[in-house]
Structure 1
């Protein structure tokens, strides 16, 4: 290398270092959490060659502008809804009040989500992919008026094409069909898939950020999975549309997941969530139907939608409140355990006040860096008294929590920073002893197939592995 090339290389390195310093200062002032700011700033200062481009892609450079645009779209959407003969919160008589004579234990979640707790619902657990897709496809096939479908991932494989065909058949039969998918999660979905749907009359949109700069922002993902058919039956949970969710991915099979089937007034809240996302993607409102036929349903349900445009950190506060309200037990399941300080502290405090805290995690990684960080957090929380279990048969992807004997939740949110502050998520709480008993039996069966993490049986990593886990933990807030 001649002197001129050496000088040129030096200028490039110096330029990258300067850009890294500028980006580090920007991160300190703009990243939402202190641990996230520290993670980005240290990486940008000491490793600008490796982290500058990821910061431009995953960082917060357009976050504030995105939040303002999303909030404005939500205001416009609700203004448009107000002009319709449709009340998104249905009959006030169904809203569960909070009073000394009739306390509502879900009231903090209602205030957090700005959605009411609603009575007269029915909820049914759908365990694993076969039961979930059988129920969803059967419900769509019976649709007479409107089908709303939203998934983070849709694949062009066997189950994806089954969904495609039933949507096409219903659209050709005169049903109004709306499909929303995330542009990042479904990046591999070919155009021919959506083109066939549109040609049949299905309204299709991708959820994405906007503008030229936003195209380089990968942090804004809609992780929700919502299906509502005719305003009479709905679905929410952890499953996406792909054969791997039906045990067709040998490395991770069998896939363990949970979905929820709902009917009753709570479907108005799910439709409202879908309408916000659809309006963002299309500037149009989907048709909204009042739920009908409550029958003998008696479950109180609370929908908690969360996203980066929220005034508060809704998803993180959701888990903190759920943990804090537990008096006897709280069981949580998540494929990714990379908690923030508030959730980590809430778990430790629950142990200190005598609550039985169990955490169910996968034993196989699907994302190795996240798994490494999760392992370090799991070992640490185990030493604090939380009982940690690793699911053995296959990959555990469900997002479920059980509070005491009478409340449980199913949805899309993971116990990590991405779900807490970056993704759009949805969780549904059900306050009903019979339903909670069913969730308890389901989780007890999962624990039977799991190995409890103890100081004796957890393999001690060698120094290089331990260093890798520490590095993964350092960058955990930006994973």
Structure 2
């Protein structure tokens, strides 16, 4: 009887799916980022409604409209209070003719600034020791935001330091991405809250309109202590970022410690994320202090699906276009869009020496396979690929010529370009660039050069996986 009822209602259900799929197809035609993507979605929705409609609800959106509306609301209600947070930076602001950073303030609302001190933190031990030491010195507040937080030894060390400071009266605001931290136990969160720590998920799916908004991620890694120091980079809060357990192998990653006016921009990025999640601002007075010994020019570059422009993609294109002699890129994932691919090809043709460092060991198989499909496109005399052999390489670093370097959270892939909330800092300083150069030179010693022959010598089964993975490049 149940089977007969199902058969009886199938035509009606299909009609309903088909009706809403037609509406979705029109929506795709009006909103999807590229014409190819719009056509692909429209054809799929019309031809396979029961399959394509659920997929479109999850993967079809490329703008986080709820976030945009939340920021508009807080600025209207509080008379541009978020924008006012940038006021301490203005006296250190860099103007366009004075530095290469001036071009990048057009991409974001955040100005470049002078008088910063920025230091590289290489690998997990150095990074976590620096972060925990800064937390222990907190007097007023701590802002913390990570994509992944695990309830392991590293996560518990963080919890211990935070609870100690909370019990001493320091205000703590903690954001985590609910997808990246899906393994985080409820007990971990409860212990934090009992200590007075305001911890909450970023919560991309809050609100009726965003119920199926599962494809956006908050991939930022931010720590700010009392407005005088901030940390951003590639590390998350988990043992694997320390190479633990030993069987997992060495984990190569890079963070930076920032002091100076640029800290205020990072605080603003956090405050915007917090307002989306909690629908209120952190109840603290955000302050920013100039670095006592810093003389570095820098600009903080937040990006994400709430930006009017495709900030992350345009940022990479501009950096590539600015290179005159050298461009070194380290990224765990290499699935560039057409704009970034074309910019790399043009840079190679005008004589820029390009090195691209990728991991030899994959942690995401599809992305790893897809990266091989770009070897033919990038098979030009001045482009060299290297595979990092000593463990897993997760850093996101770019060096341009001898005076410009970027460290952050964004990968060279479409997810970072369009779907993730990311953050990085671009530094225009010869000494900092020299430190990045030395760090990457040491990394290249742990690499082997890769090229077309690596792909050609693979099995036909591997090559099939590469071609199939390339089809999914727009959502990787």
TM norm structure 1: 0.90
Q: d(CA) in 2 for partners of 1:45 and 1:374? A: 31
Three-state SS of the structure 1 residue aligned to 2:252 is: coil
Closer, same or farther: CA 457–9 of 1 in aligned 2, 3 Å: farther
Matches within 5 A, 1:225-236: 225-236=221-232
Partner of 1:88: 86
Q: Give the deviation of 1:113 after TM superposition.
A: 1.2
Three-state SS of the structure 2 residue aligned to 1:260 is: strand
Matches within 5 A, 1:14-93: 18=18, 22=22, 23=24, 26-38=27-39, 40-41=41-42, 52-60=53-61, 66-67=64-65, 69-79=66-76, 80=78, 82=80, 87-93=85-91
Matches within 5 A, 1:48-197: 52-60=53-61, 66-67=64-65, 69-79=66-76, 80=78, 82=80, 87-99=85-97, 103-197=98-192
Q: Give the deviation of 1:81 after TM superposition.
A: 7.3
CA contact (8 A) 1:39 1:474 kept: no
CA contact (8 A) 2:254 2:395 kept: yes
CA contact (8 A) 1:258 1:399 kept: yes
Q: After the TM superposition, which of the residue ranges 171-180 and 371-380 deviates more from structure 2?
A: 371-380
Partner of 1:221: 217
CA contact (8 A) 1:268 1:290 kept: yes
Three-state SS of the structure 2 residue aligned to 1:358 is: strand
CA RMSD of superposed structures (Å): 2.8
CA contact (8 A) 2:348 2:380 kept: no
Counterpart check, 1:411 vs 2:412: no
Three-state SS of the structure 2 residue aligned to 1:183 is: coil
Q: After the TM superposition, which of the residue ranges 33-42 and 444-453 deviates more from structure 2?
A: 33-42
Matches within 5 A, 1:280-319: 280-286=276-282, 287-319=284-316
Closer, same or farther: CA 350–415 of 1 in aligned 2, 3 Å: same
Q: Give the deviation of 1:268 after TM superposition.
A: 0.6
Q: Give the deviation of 1:115 after TM superposition.
A: 1.1
Q: After the TM superposition, which of the residue ranges 455-464 and 384-393 deviates more from structure 2?
A: 455-464
CA contact (8 A) 1:172 1:200 kept: yes
Q: d(CA) in 1 for partners of 2:390 and 2:354? A: 22
Q: Give the deviation of 1:29 after TM superposition.
A: 3.3
Q: Give the deviation of 1:123 after TM superposition.
A: 0.6
Q: Give the deviation of 1:114 after TM superposition.
A: 1.7
Q: Give the deviation of 1:5 after TM superposition.
A: 11
- Deviations 1:11-43 (Å, cap 9, x if unpaired)? 699769957964555434332233443554566
Matches within 5 A, 1:298-377: 298-377=295-374
CA contact (8 A) 2:304 2:420 kept: yes
Matches within 5 A, 1:393-472: 393-472=390-469
Counterpart check, 1:204 vs 2:199: yes
CA contact (8 A) 1:406 1:433 kept: yes
- Deviations 1:125-144 (Å, cap 9, x if unpaired)? 00111111010011101111
Structure 1 unaligned regions, length at least 5: none
Closer, same or farther: CA 394–452 of 1 in aligned 2, 3 Å: same
Three-state SS of the structure 1 residue aligned to 2:393 is: coil
Partner of 2:263: 267
CA contact (8 A) 1:40 1:475 kept: no
Aligned residue pair count: 470
Q: Give the deviation of 1:95 after TM superposition.
A: 0.8
Q: After the TM superposition, which of the residue ranges 210-219 and 232-241 deviates more from structure 2?
A: 210-219
Q: Give the deviation of 1:253 after TM superposition.
A: 2.2
Q: Give the deviation of 1:275 after TM superposition.
A: 0.6
